[in-house]
Each structure stands twice: as C-alpha cells, then as structure tokens.
Chains A and B, each alone.
Chain A
Amino acid sequence: MSVLEIVILLPVLAALAVLFGAPARAASVGATLVNLIIVLALSWQYAAKGSTGLAFTHAREILANPAMSFSVGADGVSLILALLTAIVMFAAVWQIQDRPAIFYVASLLIGGGALGAFLTTDVFFIYAFHELALIPTFLMIALHGHAEPIERKKVAWKATIYLGIGSLVLLAGLVWLVVEFSEGPHLTFDLTALRKVAVNSPLPIEKQGAIFFVLLLGFGTLVSLFPFHSWAAPAYATAPTPVAMLHAGVLKKFGLYGLLRIALPLLPQGANVPWVQNALLLMLLGNILVMGLVTIRASRLDETLANSSVMHMGYIFLALAAGSEIALKGAVLLMFAHGVSIALLFALTGKMRNQLGTLEYSKLGGLASHAPAFTVLFAFGAFASIGLPGLSNFAGEVMVFAGSFTGFKGVLTNLHWTVIFALWGVVMSAVYMLRAYRSIFHGSATTGLFMSDPVLPQRLPLILMAATLLLTGCCPWLLLNLLKGALAAG
C-alpha cells in the first residue's frame, strides 16, 4: 500500500471506526494528527529533493478499457492542497466541543474526500472523491445547521441543487474531454496519459475554448463563480462550524484544483480564446466587485465571512485568466492562504456563536477587553484575508497581480483593467473587515455582550492556523519551493 493511499484512507477508516463505536474524539484527533505529520513529511521530502512532477505514484488497475485505475500521485500543487486539508481537518476536529459523533464522522469524510480528490491522478476518482465529500456537507447543513429546521433544509437543498447541477455540467465537460482525447475506441481517464495526448495532438483552439468554458462553468459553480454563487453564502453561514471550515477552506478549492490540474494542462489555449477570457474576466469581476459590495452590506459576522469567501475566489480566477506561471503559482499560494484564513475565521465565529448566541454587529462591541487572546487570533485571520503583508494571503495576491502584468507593453488590455478593478476590491475587503472588527472588538466593553477567551487546549488549533498564516506569510518560498517546475506556461 502506498503512502498516499494511507493518507487518503486514514480519515475514512477513522470515520468508519467512529461509526462502529470507537471513541470519537480520540480516533479523529489521532488520525488527523498522524495524517498531518505524514503530509508534512512528504512535503518536506519533496522540497528537499528538489523534485518536480508527480511523486509517490502508485496505480491499481481497475478497468482496461476504458483505462481506469486507482492511481495516486502528488506534485507540488497537490501537496500544498493536501497540506491545507490536513491542517484544516486537524483543526476542525480538534475544535469540536460537546457535539455528537456525527460531527467527527462528517469532518473526517469531507477531509478524506478532499484528500482523495487532490491526491489521485485518475479523472474518474478525482471526480468521485469530490462527490463523496459533498454528501456529508449537505447532510450536516440539513441536520445540524444553525437555523430553524425548515430554513436550514432550504439552504441545504439550494446548495445540493446548485452543486448537483454544477457537477453534472462538469461531468458533461469531462466526458466531452475524454471522448475528444480518445484514440479510436480506446478511452482513458488517466491524467498522465491524457496529458501526453494533449501535448502530441492538441485540439483545435476553438474547441479547446468551448470545452474549457463548459469545464469552467462546472468547476466554477463548485467554487461559487459569479453568477452561480448564491448557494455559497447561506450554506457557509448555516453550516456547522467544522463543516464550514472544511468546505469553505478546503473542499471549495476542488473546483480551482480541477481547473489547474485538468483544464489548463489539457486545454492550454482554452483560456486564451478571447470570448472565453472575456467571459471569465466578467464573471470574476462579478465575484470581486458585486460580492464585495454585497459583503459591505452584511450585518452579521457569518454573513460577512461567507460572502467574503465568495468574493476572494475572484482573485484565483484572475490568475486563471492571466495564465502566466507567476500568476498560477500565486493562485496556489492564495488557495492555501484563503483556506487557512477562512477556516480560522469560521472556527472563531463558531466560538462566538456558542458563547454569545448572536453574531449581529449591532449587538456586539468591546470584546477586545474581555477576550484579548481571541481578539488577536481573529486579527490574524481578518488581516490575512485583507492581504496584509507578513500573513499568508499577501504573497499569493501580489503574485497573481504581478503575473497578470508580465509582458505588459504599455497598453492596458481587458486583463489589466480587470486587475485594476480587482485591486479596488482589496480596498473593499479592508472596508468590510475593519468595519466588522471595529464593531465586534472595539468600543466600550459595556456596550456588548460578555465573552471570555477560550481555554488553552481549545486555543491550540486556532494558534496552529494563525501560526501557519504567519509562517507562510513571512516565508512564502517555503510553499513556492514545492512548485518548482509546476504550472509552467505552455
């Protein structure tokens, strides 16, 4: 059994063990901790060797024609996302307090599904693992969401329909892709084999654009690409804390990962077809500007965070539209950074909801005096998410922007104008985050509700995430070392 298979199976097995009566907390925390250590060791090994391309590969053939195998393998991109998953999954199960075992099971299944999607190299399994991870997400929103039963079912229903339709569009695109790339009656789902075909006999550019667009709509819906985003904000605001952490932090990155992993290498010209690029630029501006303004209007913390998470996806789509190596590497950094920062913020929001019973700005105030440690942790998440240098998100953002300006000849094209609008979005993020921070933490201690700092063991997963933000923010090269030779243009 290969090491990556162990990484994928460990959380799933732990989930099964919990279902069959193993002590939920011990099993979950133990499995996720072991997982985190393994992924860290693999990443370290990969970087230390200066590896490029897929490593730790292993394949088990399942079908000969169509060629389909349970094949695993990881390059820098998948390792960074696996690292993100391992960190967030560990933090998510650790921060669960006084909840039924189903919370642990769901978290493990979502995390395990995400790991499967990031670490397998067969299109069928990449797809299937993501679907596996979605199911507990829907169920947890419907069963344990923070809303009246009718309301939360509605929210779960909406997310299910959106993501279901998105998945179907995606499936259609993938099938189209696989069929186009098949030679005669021989079909393959193996990414490496598909990539070889793409290099040797690329599709005509117009066709690349068309397939890319279908994949963009499919994957995009999963990432809440405007205007297919309206499932996301209510789902995150309603989802139980570990589910919100794992879905917004990790699982949502699947769509982006798919575009980077499947669409870009197989359809390298797809995003450059003018109509596709312009459509993408318009949609991502919708994410950044429209959702930025919507976020400014939010009157509750969970609403702000949920909408901001939709908004920030626009910056990653910007990297896809730019397509340069610098921008794409920046996008990977940003996926990691956004995942950790939003998970941290959702974890903190969960604690606030539990202690205070409300997240309305008008009812909060002065928490900094009651809960200084909590405030500092929140500040880490909030300032990371508005792109403060020294915290994780900045390096990714600046690389996406700079990567969009490589080869700039002195004439501003649509892409450059989009970057300028996107930069205005950075101002808007500061507006809503600082407004939120002001109304929750600043002000007189007597105006708000009382809240105390979480006890030290409960603080640990939060500190882990904050420290990750600081470390990768000060040393983004730690992650960039994993991306040597990855995502090179052309």
Chain B
Amino acid sequence: MPSVDAQSPGHFLPTILLLLPFFSALIILLGHRVLKNASVLISVGSSVICFIASLTLLATKGAEGTVGILKFIDIEGMSAGIDAMIDDQSRGMMFIVTFIGMLVHIFSMGYMKDDEAKPRFFGSLSLFMFSMTGIVLAGNLVMMFIYWELVGLSSYLLIGHWYEKASAAEACKKAFLTNRIGDFGFMIGILILFGLNKGDLNIDNLQDAFVTGGPLAEALKNNPGIITVAALCLFMGAVGKSAQFPLHVWLPDAMEGPTPVSALIHAATMVAAGVYMLVRVSFVIVTPLAAETIAGIGCFTALLAALMATQQADIKRILAYSTLSQLGYMVMAVGAVAMVAIDGHAAHGAHPGHPAMFHLYTHAFFKAMLFLGSGAVIYACHHEQDIWKMGGLWKHMPITFWTFAIGTAALMGVPPLSGFWSKEAVLGAAFDSGCRVLFLAGAATAALTAFYMTRLLVVAFLGKARTESAHHAVEVPLIMALPLLLLAVFSVFSASGVFSDFLQAMKPEHVDAPGEGHTVLWTSIAVLLVGSISSFLLYKGKDKDPVRIKLFANKFYFDEMYAVMVRIGQDGLAWVVTALERILVDGLVARLPTALVARIGAATRMLQGGHLQGYTFLLGAGIIAVVYLVVFVLPRTH
C-alpha cells in the first residue's frame, strides 16, 4: 500500500474511510442477532476510526489528486470507478462528516439506549457514513450518483426506523420518492455531460474541458442552451437532496426519524450534500440563466421556509424549516457567486473560500448542536416535542440550555460567533451579485431567523414549566451532554482563523466596493436586532402563541397541493391509462387473435377435443412441422 506523503494523497486513508463503515454495516446486517449490543460498539468504533482517519487526512494538506479505490464499470468508451478525489474541499467536508458523525454515534448510545431495534439503527447509521464519505470523495459523477442514491437509502431506513408508526412509514417513502424526482434531473444532467464530454465524467477532466477549450467549451460556444440545461438538471439533483423549493416538502416530515438522525443527516451532512455537489460542479454554471435560476430558487426557499418556521410548535419542525431556510442561503450563495463570475468573465469553480461552503461548514456544527439539543429536551420531557408544553427548562437542564443558547445565537448570526461570519459572507455574495432582490430577501430571512429562534428559546427554555413532564425534566447523562459541549465550542469558533484554517474552510475574502461602505455588515446587525428584540417582547411570558397565521402554520398548503397533483397527475392518469390499456390493447390486440384462433379451434374441435393440454402439444408439434416443411420442402422448390 503506498505511503502517504506530502505530494500524493495515497490510497490508504480514503480506502479506510470508504470501506470501514461499509463492512460495519454489512457485519451488523448479517450478524445482529448474534452480536446484539456488540453491534453498537462496532458501529461507534468504526465512526471513531473514521474520524481519526479524517484527521490524518487533514494533515496531508496541499496534496491533491484523484486515486482509484475500486473498479466499477471499465469498458471501452465508459470508465467510472470508485475514485477518491482528495483536495482541500473534500478534506474539510470529510472532517465535518466524520466529526459530527462520531458525535452523533456517541449521543445515540444514550438516546437510543432503550430502543429494541438498536442494532438496526446503528447498522443503518454505518451505512449512512459509508454513503456520505462516498459523496465527499466522489471523483466522478457516476460515483457521485451512486452514493447520492445510497444516502437516500440510508435516510429512508433511518426515517423509517419506527416503521410501525404510520407517519414514519409515510415520511420515509415521501423522502425517497421526492429525492427520486430530483435524481431524475440529476441523471439527465450527468448524461448530457457524458455525451458532450465523450464519455469522461471525471470531475477534474470536466472542469478542464471547460477551462482549456475542451469539448465542453466548444459546446458552450456553439449551443449555450444545452449547457444551461445541463447545469439546471444537475441543480435539480441538489434541489431534491437539499430540499429546495419545490421539492422541499420531504424534509419536515423526515423529522419522524430519531432525533440524532435528524442532526446528522437532515441538518448537518446529507442535506448539505446538494450544496457540496453544486459547488463541486459549479464550473458548469456558466450561463446567466442557470446562475440566476439557482440564486432565485435558493433565495425563495430561504424566505419561504423562514416564514413557515415562525408558526410551528414542534421543536424539531422549527429546526427543520430553519435548515431548509439555511440551505436556501447556501444555494443562493452558489448562484450569486456564479453570477458575479459570469459578469466578470472569470472562470470560477470549487475553492476553499466559497461563501456557500463556508456557511455549510459553520451551519453543520451549530445546527447539529441544536438538533442534538432538541433531542436532549425531547429525551428529558418523555418524547414531548411541542414547545408550548415545555418552558422553564433552563433551570433543570443547564448544559442543554446554555449550549442550545449558543447554537441559537450562532444561527441568528450574533457576532462574533461562527454563524455571523458565514451569514455575512452569504449576504455579501448576494450583495455583490448586483441583484437587489437577492440581498433584500436574504436580509429579511436573517431577520426572520432571529425572530423564530428567539421565539423557540423563549418559549421552550425560559419562563415557567407549562406541563408536568417539563417540570420534572432532568439534565441528560454525560454521554449525551459531551457531544453538545464539543459542538458548542465549534459553534463559537469554527469561523475564526485557527479553526477555519485547520478545517480548510477559509472565510471568503469580501472586498468592499468603493462607496459601498459597510452596508452588508450593518444590515446583518440591524436585522438581527429587529428580529430578536421583537420576538422577545412578543413571546416573553406567553402561554400560547399570540400570533396565528394559518398560511404559515400550514406551510403554504404545499402538501395539500401536491397531494392533489399526485392524485390527478399520477393516480388519475394511471387510472385512465389502465382503463385504456384494458380496452384497447387487451380488447383489440388480444381479443382479435384469440377470437380467430377460437373460431378455428371450434371448427376443428372434433379433431382436438378443445383441451388446452392437447392444444399446446399440437401447437408445439405444429411449429416443428412447419419448420420441417420449410427445411425440406422450400429448398427443393427453389
């Protein structure tokens, strides 16, 4: 096995990162009845080793390259293997995935202590780690798609962990199917690039094919429309995975899964994979239409989800809508950066100072922390998730409260916490794009974020306990508190120099344009104050929600609209098509020959007696007879 030196990233670490969780999942799947609780140790152990491996990988800073790990398809004209692409971006992302993954594994040892299906849970968690490291390392788009679908599977299994509950069973199905719609587009995008780039889907080579006048640059010159289509199709994959409008509906329902899963998969890593992929292939976003569409969808999702979040009562759902909104932020940043690059005729691509990636990094820590914190609350309140049935928790659960407060402050963008810097970077990108609407909507989203997070904190943690279960809540055990504390440290510092250099998630350099002043900075501080103060005054000491906006509470009725669309567009169409198939195909194509043969059959019944057995034998014999005639008679008549 080649050793890891400064120049070559080596095979060893990526192989460990990819295969260890796979074997962990496989062993648990095959042997969980024998292993019982040992499967927990296998899964947690593999996550710890992966974390150490990713730390070692961070130390190889500077070494870049793609190394082949396993063969997959390798034929003339199409070669797609399991290749690890190591660069600063994948190293940084790998740290996030394995670090939060490990903490979630540890937290789950406490949270899932009494669950009967613990081995299944930890097996699926390992499967997820395997799939997610695959996305991070993916060196070509086929591999990206493979792991893309596999995270979908592990998400399906984990959302449906309590499959006996109808709501969980429906939610996991919905998540998988909604993602499939996104993947439909993703695959078309991949196929277009496959065709245009003559079968080469290696991400580095694709970028070269744009930059150094390869076939993709040619296609862009001759037919920019198809490049726009390709970019938007790839984006559709991200729309599904990162739950952007109009495919956002699955993420809130995914909260049916155990809370540690929500923290890892549906907040910190998998849903961010859409953004990661988009940044990875952002060299394809070279047409204004594509860039503007992406920025627009991101911005719209951010605002829409923030509005929905203001009226939810379920603690996990508030966080879920908040995640949607923050993902919208990241997607908006991808679009905005592309818009700037197109305006400046500059080639752009994945680089460590990308605002979207920067926000992805900081968000991963504080959102995972908030979800684990909500898990601690739910655990302490005996599976109560309604914030109006909580209250006064700060007294009973000080660690949870203070860490949750830090996470909230980071999410709202209180300076100098991590979230402040990354949010400012995103708003800065929106500002630089020159599109006022993006910037204003981004600022409005920031105000709403401060509003709904203050509401959550005030209602759930401050004031007096409103129910018995909240009154008797006690602090969670150390095994659950420890991940909270660690994540809180990262929530504070992850954007500051040493940390972000270490993570290779550098703060983007925002250069103030002349005459711009500090618009972005002052705007973000102003909206923070407006949002949080108004919310604090409104919700302080309240026992029930003083504001009732049905439209927001009911999520703009998207679920209902989609239900109607599915009923008409799919089930209705299926009904019509099935009826037509029965009548036309079965009626005409099937009946005619049947009737014909039956006539002949009736005429010859005396010979055959009408028995099917006899008939089949005669048919076989008849065919052979025909062949015989053809073989022996035809040649002679030639």
Contact = CB atoms under 8 A, between A and B. Distances in A.
Interface stretch (A50-58, A123-131, A253-261): A123-131
A405 B619 contact: no
A197 B624 CA distance: 26
A404 B226 CA distance: 17
B177 A431 contact: yes
Given A408-B196, A410-B222, A477-B74, A175 B630 contact: yes
A388 interface: yes
A168 interface: yes
Interface residues of B, number: 73
B270 to A, nearest CB: 16
A434 B77 CA distance: 34
B623 A230 contact: no
A476 B184 CA distance: 22
Interface string B109-151: 0000000000000000000000000000000001001110110
B177 A427 contact: yes
Contact of B586 (A179, A230, A445, A477): A230
Interface in B553-603: 570-571, 573-575, 577-578, 581, 584-586, 589-590, 593-594, 597
B258 interface: no
B616 interface: yes
Contacts of B170: 438
Contacts of A407: 195
B593 A477 contact: no
Nearest to A386: B180
Interface stretch (A80-88, A94-102, A156-164, A334-342): A156-164
Interface string A470-481: 000001110010
Nearest to B622: A164
Contact of B195 (A131, A405, A431): A405
B163 interface: yes
Interface in A157-177: 157-158, 160-162, 164-165, 167-168, 171, 175
Given A165-B593, A290-B581, A296-B574, A185 B173 contact: no
Contacts of A434: 173, 176-177
Nearest to B620: A135
Interface in B63-100: 71-78
Interface stretch (B186-194, B428-436, B474-482): B186-194
A171 B623 contact: yes
A127 B78 contact: no
A477 B71 CA distance: 7
B191 A389 contact: no
A431 B612 contact: no
B470 to A, nearest CB: 29
A357 B360 CA distance: 52
A395 interface: yes
Contacts of B606: none
A442 B180 CA distance: 20
A135 B163 contact: no
A443 B169 contact: yes
A394 B173 CA distance: 20
Interface stretch (A199-207, A344-352, A418-426): A418-426
B164 A443 contact: yes
A430 B173 CA distance: 9
A329 interface: yes
Contacts of A390: 146, 150
A366 B166 CA distance: 10
Contact of A296 (B169, B570, B593, B597): B570
B442 interface: no
A251 to B, nearest CB: 14
B223 interface: yes
Contact of A228 (B149, B574, B589, B617): B589
Contacts of B149: 388-389, 394
Contacts of B177: 427, 430-431, 434
B74 to A, nearest CB: 6
B638 A185 contact: yes
Contact of B577 (A294, A430, A477): A294
A160 B615 contact: yes
Contacts of A406: 77, 194-195, 199
Given A160-B612, A427-B181, A430-B180, A388 B73 contact: no
Given A326-B77, A405-B195, A443-B169, A153 B612 contact: yes
Given A405-B191, A406-B77, A394 B146 contact: yes
Interface of A: 63, 65-66, 68, 124, 127-128, 131-132, 134-135, 138-139, 142-143, 153, 156-158, 160-162, 164-165, 167-168, 171, 175, 179, 184-185, 187, 226-231, 290, 293-294, 296-297, 324-326, 329, 366, 368-369, 376, 383, 388-390, 394-395, 398-399, 401-411, 419-420, 423-424, 426-427, 430-431, 434-435, 438, 441-445, 475-477, 480, 483
20 contacts: A66-B635, A132-B620, A138-B612, A157-B594, A164-B619, A230-B581, A294-B578, A388-B150, A394-B146, A401-B191, A405-B195, A408-B192, A410-B196, A411-B226, A420-B188, A423-B184, A427-B177, A427-B181, A434-B177, A443-B164
Interface of B: 29, 71-78, 142, 145-147, 149-150, 153, 160, 163-166, 169-170, 173, 176-177, 180-181, 184, 187-188, 191-192, 194-196, 199, 219, 222-223, 226, 570-571, 573-575, 577-578, 581, 584-586, 589-590, 593-594, 597, 612-613, 615-617, 619-620, 623-624, 626-627, 630-631, 634-635, 638
